[in-house]
């Protein structure tokens, strides 16, 4: 029996993880954490009966306690509650599927408590990779990627001498605006940006795909996960999303992982690694139907958020936090209809330009930088609107 906690159980990755639990008797859920969706959480709690539940927003936690008072489930709240879920005593693995930098502290505490991590929160490594990766080593836990590209890279490195890998080819669908120029992107609305051609995902990551900031975050995430330099990570636009990423070795051989775009595959792989379990539902790749796979270079002038990710990653220290925080704020405002699409990468750029770099930032400095960045982009936006 493998016992798991899911931080972010009502989101896209969280609900798909529970689908896998439902189909596998050998998985048990011991902790669930959510932001505020207590309607869905109630159904999950009644079905999976975890020991501990966190509802991050306190007023919702109070309502939730009342809803499930007939059950022997403890309900906690706030960051303290999130950390309690992350370190819940029975769980051996935590699926970190919350959106945004809120995932950093619980992930660090989970590792301290000896939990293995199925990582679906890329912000954690982007902003605190220099803290997380040494801690994973020190505590002897495993950290397995759930992101489809990183799972593909991980699978392509399996059984190989990692020192002989000299390049990662990180594939990108290009999102709904692939092929467009800057002048065509000004008036894009949330409903346009939310139409992802291949993947069904949460709102935040779908907008990040449209700006290609998601790919920028993934480049930085891959550098930490696989101990590769940013210059050895090349983004390849591959609109069909069948090749999920590749590794090129010193002899020129390229090993890739392919599959239909379905997050269940990388989630299940991370939960059962090194065992491959049958995935009973879902399509399979049919090459005769596909006929061709195509590739192109990313347009870094139009999707300049991706270019900025390489800059932030090269500068390192607190700069990736600035990149990420400015993006988080801007995406939330764009979804509310408050700012234009192109303001997202513009705010990232402005925030990076004004930031005074902190090398090797502590967790406290990372969280301060996050807050300062939110304040800056809010002020900057008010000044131009």
Q: Residues interacting with Mg ion, by CB under 5 A? A: 147-149
Are 219 and 213 in contact, with CB atoms under 8 Å apart?
A: no
Q: Write down the least CB distance from residue 149 to Mg ion, Å.
A: 5
Q: Write down the least CB distance from residue 170 to Mg ion, Å.
A: 9
User: Which residue, 147 or 248, is less far from Mg ion as judged by CB?
Assistant: 147
Tokens 């930031």 appear where? 355
User: Which residue, 51 or 148, is less far from Mg ion as judged by CB?
Assistant: 148
User: In which order are the strands placed within the sheet that holds 254-258?
Assistant: 233-237, 165-172, 243-249, 254-258
- Which one, of 153, 112, 150, lies nearest residue 131 by Cα? 112
Q: Write down the least CB distance from residue 59 to Mg ion, Å.
A: 33
Q: Which residues contact 61 (CB under 8 A, 6 or more apart)?
A: 54, 55, 75, 76, 77, 81
Q: Which helix (H) or strand (E) holds 63?
A: helix 58-67
User: Which residue, 266 or 361, is less far from Mg ion as judged by CB?
Assistant: 266
Are 367 and 79 in contact, with CB atoms under 8 Å apart?
A: no
DSSP-H helix ranges across 171-273: 182-185, 190-193, 203-211, 213-226, 264-272
Q: Which residues contact 157 (CB under 8 A, 6 or more apart)?
A: 165, 226, 247, 255
User: Which residue, 218 or 370, is less far from Mg ion as judged by CB?
Assistant: 218
Q: Write down the least CB distance from residue 247 to Mg ion, Å.
A: 16
Q: Which residue is nearest to Mg ion (CB)?
A: 147
Q: Write down the least CB distance from residue 122 to Mg ion, Å.
A: 8
DSSP secondary structure letter of residue 250: T
User: Which residue, 155 or 373, is less far from Mg ion as judged by CB?
Assistant: 155
Q: Write down the least CB distance from residue 125 to Mg ion, Å.
A: 13
User: Which residue, 83 or 117, is less far from Mg ion as judged by CB?
Assistant: 117
Rounded distance between C-alpha atoms, residue 18 and residue 14, angstroms: 6
């Amino acid at each position: 029996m493998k016992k798991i906690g899911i931080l972010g159980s009502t989101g896209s990755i969280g609900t798909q993880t529970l689908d896998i639990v439902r189909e596998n008797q050998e998985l048990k859920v011991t902790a669930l954490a959510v932001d505020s969706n207590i309607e869905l959480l109630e159904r999950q709690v009644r079905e999976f009966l975890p020991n501990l539940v966190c509802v991050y927003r306190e007023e919702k936690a109070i309502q939730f306690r009342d809803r499930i008072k007939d059950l022997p489930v403890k309900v906690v709240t706030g960051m303290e509650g999130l950390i309690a879920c992350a370190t819940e005593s029975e769980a051996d693995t935590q699926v970190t599927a919350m959106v945004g930098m809120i995932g950093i502290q619980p992930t660090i505490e989970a590792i301290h408590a000896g939990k293995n991590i199925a990582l679906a929160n890329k912000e954690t490594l982007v902003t605190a990779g220099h803290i997380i990766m040494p801690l994973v080593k020190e505590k002897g836990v495993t950290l397995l990627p759930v992101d489809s590209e990183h799972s593909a890279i991980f699978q392509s490195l399996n059984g190989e001498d990692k020192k002989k890998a000299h390049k990662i080819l990180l594939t990108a669908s290009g999102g709904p605006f692939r092929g467009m120029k800057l002048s065509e992107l000004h008036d894009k609305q949330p409903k346009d940006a939310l139409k992802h051609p291949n993947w069904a995902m949460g709102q935040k990551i779908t907008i990040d795909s449209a700006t290609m900031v998601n790919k920028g975050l993934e480049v930085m995430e891959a550098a930490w996960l696989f101990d590769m330099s940013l210059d050895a990570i090349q983004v390849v636009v591959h609109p069909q999303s069948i090749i999920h990423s590749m590794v090129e070795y010193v002899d020129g051989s390229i090993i890739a992982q392919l599959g239909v775009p379905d997050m269940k595959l990388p989630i299940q792989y991370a939960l059962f690694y090194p065992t491959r379990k049958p995935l009973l539902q879902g399509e399979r790749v049919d090459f005769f139907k596909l006929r061709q796979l195509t590739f192109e270079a990313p347009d870094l002038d139009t999707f300049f958020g991706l270019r900025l990710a390489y800059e932030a990653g090269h500068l390192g220290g607190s700069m990736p936090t600035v990149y990420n925080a400015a993006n988080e704020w801007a995406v939330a405002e764009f979804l509310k209809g408050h700012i234009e699409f192109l303001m997202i990468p513009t705010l990232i750029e402005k925030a990076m330009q004004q930031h005074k770099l902190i090398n090797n930032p502590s967790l406290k400095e990372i969280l301060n930088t996050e807050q300062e960045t939110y304040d800056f982009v809010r002020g900057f936006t008010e000044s131009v609107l």
